[in-house]
Structure 1
Amino acid sequence: MIDTLRATSTIVTALARGAREVRVVLDYDPGAEKGWLRIGERHGIKLEGADYDNSPVAVSRLDLSGVGILLRTTNFSRAFAIAKDTTVYAGSYLNISRCIDLASSLRPCLIYPCRRMGRVALEDVLAALIIRSGEIPPEDDLLELVKMAESARNLISLGKLEDVEFSCRINRFDILPISGPGDSSFRAK
């Protein structure tokens, strides 16, 4: 699954920063989340009750060694809830070479670019095409293309250009988050 702006970029970054797991949720359960860091947004805005916005930049600045994270997002949480009975990997530009290697070794391999508000998310389709082709464009060219997408324009209008730029970095991390069938958490592989 790919949701580069920002869910899968946040998952990849959190696990690279030492988080023990990132559990994707549809809602927070206040009685069951003691000791968990809550990251969440709705339409790009930090959720009330969340510790942090769904920002890979903010996550990149944290020491998450051994921390469990609850992640709730506008689009990825719903898409993941539908797919969680299968093995799901979290792909982004930050770990694109790992995604390319996986896609070339798994047959069949379904690449699912998440949608934004029920519509195609250009940046996620672009990532899927890169994964399938194995051809990685220069980072500057990628950023310019992604900045034209509706999702990026929305984030930029909310003052989150730094998240867009960070999410377009190529191969920043050498991990591949995986969630097994029936599991709601991603762990580093």
Structure 2
Amino acid sequence: MNEHTKPRLEVCLSPALLHLFDVKNSIVVIIDVLRATSTICTALYNGAAKVIPVATVEECVSIGKQLNAITAGERDGKIADGLLHGNSPFEYPREFIGGNVLVLTTTNGTKLLHMAKDAIQIVTGSFPNISSVCEYLISQGQNVILGCAAWKDRVNMEDTLFAGAVVSRIKAHFDVNCDSALAAETLYHSAKEDLFSFMKQASHFQRLAKYGLEEDIKYCLTMDGANVLPILRNGELVVEK
């Protein structure tokens, strides 16, 4: 890229649209605000050695046994059968997760991670680590795709809001010629004064609220509570130093 052209910044609102983007020549940010990417940065912030994202519960159990790791994951918002821990960031305080490996499977986030495997680099983003994500993307000077995990391929509110928050912070450093980025940023600006109240109309809010998880949602919409950058190295998410 010559010094006069800015790198591209684009938003992919659903994994079903990822094939339309130039993944190979971009850094991909995996966004699964409720709750996978919020939990990943929280576990790493609290001292987890690494987080290994896997697609299936079977893989999760098998790798967990091999590595004597903590196995966790959800399907449709509940702890998956066969696993001991779920996808709540509050399950991973320092005294529990510090020094341990976490093997994690989720409904949407881990699937997108595997789909983006050919990217220049993969990092995970959520409101609790938004500043780390934005600083990293500016520092790299590469094309960026903000990839929303969505909900079973349907666009969702929380991942779109996070993508919009990132666009709003870093767009001066990028060429933004992407309607979904503009739409996400517009949505974020209309919600940013009170993300929690804005989210109450969203389907995933209602899904999780049924299980009494409002505190999880509140935490996952709060900026910089676990401000580290999870970066994928050899299939494992570790903290970028």
- How high is the TM-score relative to the length of structure 2? 0.72
Alignment of 1:98 with 2:136, yes or no, is: no
Answer with 135-144 or 93-102: which moved more.
135-144
Alignment of 1:10 with 2:39, yes or no, is: yes
TM-superposition CA deviations, 1:34-88 (whole Å, max 9, x none): 2110111100011112121111122236531221111000111211111123221
Q: Which amino acid in the other structure matches residue 155 of structure 1?
A: L
Structure 2: gaps (5+ residues)? 1-29, 171-187
Q: Which amino acid in the other structure matches residue 173 of structure 1?
A: A
**Secondary structure of the residue that 1:120 maps to in structure 2?**
coil
Identify if the C-alpha distance between structure 1 residues 62 and 83 changes in structure 2 by more than 3 Å, giving closer, same or farther.
Answer: farther
Tell me the matched-pair count: 187
Identify if the C-alpha distance between structure 1 residues 140 and 17 changes in structure 2 by more than 3 Å, giving closer, same or farther.
Answer: farther
Q: Which amino acid in the other structure matches residue 114 of structure 2?
A: A
Identify the match of residue 148 of structure 2 among 85, 92, 113: 113
- Given that 1:8 and 1:92 are in contact with CA atoms closer than 8 Å, whether structure 2 keeps it comes out as yes
Alignment of 1:33 with 2:84, yes or no, is: no
**Secondary structure of the residue that 2:134 maps to in structure 1?**
helix
Identity %: 31
- Given that 1:139 and 1:169 are in contact with CA atoms closer than 8 Å, whether structure 2 keeps it comes out as no
Alignment of 1:151 with 2:151, yes or no, is: no
Q: Please provide the CA RMSD for this pair.
A: 2.0
Alignment of 1:188 with 2:219, yes or no, is: no
Query: CA offset at residue 179 of structure 1?
Result: 0.3
* Alpha-carbon distance in structure 1 between the residues aligned to 2:88 and 2:73: 9
**Secondary structure of the residue that 1:49 maps to in structure 2?**
coil
- Given that 2:41 and 2:227 are in contact with CA atoms closer than 8 Å, whether structure 1 keeps it comes out as no
* Alpha-carbon distance in structure 1 between the residues aligned to 2:93 and 2:113: 23
Larger radius of gyration: 2
Structure 1 partner of 2:4: none
Alignment of 1:142 with 2:195, yes or no, is: yes
* Alpha-carbon distance in structure 1 between the residues aligned to 2:129 and 2:38: 9
- Given that 1:103 and 1:131 are in contact with CA atoms closer than 8 Å, whether structure 2 keeps it comes out as no
Q: Which amino acid in the other structure matches residue 38 of structure 2?
A: S
Query: CA offset at residue 3 of structure 1?
Result: 0.4
Structure 1: gaps (5+ residues)? none
* Alpha-carbon distance in structure 1 between the residues aligned to 2:226 and 2:79: 25
TM-superposition CA deviations, 1:108-154 (whole Å, max 9, x none): 11111111011011111110111011189797612222332211111
